[in-house]
Amino acid sequence: MPQQSLADTVSTLMERARADLAELVAFPSVADPRQFPVEECEKAARWVADAFAAEGLTDVRILDTPDGTQSVYAELPGPAGAPTVLLYSHYDVQPPLDEAAWASPAFELTERDGRWYGRGAADCKGNILMHLTALRALRAVDGSYPVSLKVIVEGSEEQGTGGLERYAEAHPELLAADAIVIGDAGNFTAGLPTVTTSLRGMTVVEVSVRTLAGNLHSGAFGGAAPDALQALVRALASLHDEQGALTVAGLAADQEWPGVQYPEEQFRADAGVLDGVRLVGTGSVADRLWARPAVTVLGIDAPPVIGATSSVQAAAKALVSLRVPPGVTTAAAQQALVTHLEAAVPFGARVSVERLSSGEAFSADTSGPAYEAMGAAMLEAFGKEMASSGEGGSIPLCSTLRTLYPEAEIILIGVEEPTTRIHAVNESVDPRELELMALTEALFLRNYAEARRG
């Protein structure tokens, strides 16, 4: 009987992938004990460790990282002289936000209109299943793996607390590899095989404003008493001009993206921008997303509308994130943001800015044999040439890996195409994308091993 092809094998493994993804999504593994029990992350870590151990990886460990979370490590030596490939993903997820807004339970994988819905279905538990399905297919068809394998699955990527980065810096030999496949990205559009070659860095600050010893009756004191919430809102509004372009001194916002472009109508559809609402900023959409800094107000501590009293607010607080493009250090960008906020708060209000998490931007070198092997794998799996795009988001570990292993090729791929709605309600994954990306990864491991032997 002829040997089954990798493509056919991956196809037959998709039912198992769905069942496994359902088990993994069921863990509400938000790495914030203020929101979900830490035991849920621990159970997810154990599930991941057991899953890779079942695929023959021998040295499987759960690592306690300095931020108090756990990462899963596994490895398996390959044939003599074979290159080492590190596969990365993360099992922690964003909180579900408004669970009532989900069309199905956030932590229950649900099939609807051909897609699989659930928190983490794409980001990033779907990418864990991409890795597992690729390895299962290779093992079924070839009986073994053509490379030396390392796997690292992080437990706090979404929180940005840096546990794995600090662990890797303290144990630099652990993640050393010839090629590193970061499974936390995706195709520019569904069906178009894409590598992400640029990531913005990120920094987060918390700005606190205080004007009064305590809240005051707005009738008795409003009109003269300085309102801390109003002062904060004015400071936040000063971060952008009337077009929504960034106005922070020292942060250039005129860079241009040289690669694939993002048509405005496609972006509006992908982002769900309402009819008649204009996009913010200037330049092309690709410029704004991948080449320029961007500030977002992530949250504000203020009285909710329901239950609000007639009061002048004595204090207010906001969490502000800044995305930093390649070519700009996070420290310099963070300082520019802090300086702007401190100067922009009106009324002589007392202001303090706490510097929280940060990570550097990343730009890939695409000239090596691993990228060539990935391009061939994508062409075979999708029947289309590999595209490259930027990504406005951040993966802080990438810059750490680049520093620790400057000779390693780092490739970002995954199942997170634009309609997956990662970080939003009703996150989902297209099972066809998962299937084709798992096939791509399996073919890549074969191709890369052969290229390095040659």
> Three-state DSSP class for 252?
coil
Query: How many other CB atoms are found less than 10 A from the CB of residue 121?
Result: 32
Between CA 283 and CA 371 the distance in angstroms is 30
Q: Which of 163, 191, 257, 249 is nearest to 430 (CA)?
A: 191
Catalytic member of 40, 157, 227, 287: 157
- How long a stretch of residues is the chain? 454
Give me the residue label for tokens 């706090």.
156
Q: Residue 305 is which amino acid?
A: V
Q: Residue 262 is which amino acid?
A: Y
- Report residue 433: phi and psi, to 5°: -65, -45
Catalytic member of 55, 92, 409, 430: 92
Between CA 420 and CA 414 the distance in angstroms is 11
Strands of 294-301's sheet in order across: 294-301, 315-324, 201-210, 350-359
Active site residue 92: yes
**Beta strand ranges found along 365-445 (DSSP E):** 387-391, 409-413, 428-429
Cα dihedral sign for 418, 388, 184, 87?
A: positive
Active site residue 8: no
Cα angle value 20/22/26 (rounded, 5°): 120
What six digits make up the tokens of 120?
């983490």
The DSSP line for 99-164 is: GGG-SS-TTS-EEETTEEESTTTTTTHHHHHHHHHHHHHHHHHHSS-SSEEEEEEES-TTTT--HH
- Report residue 105: phi and psi, to 5°: -55, 135
Between CA 65 and CA 168 the distance in angstroms is 9
Between CA 174 and CA 164 the distance in angstroms is 11
> Three-state DSSP class for 382?
helix
What six digits make up the tokens of 5?
């092809």
The pairing of strands 311-312 and 216-217 is antiparallel
130: left (phi over 0), alpha (psi -120 to 50) or beta: alpha
Give me the residue label for tokens 């993640």.
175
**So which residues are the catalytic ones?**
92, 157
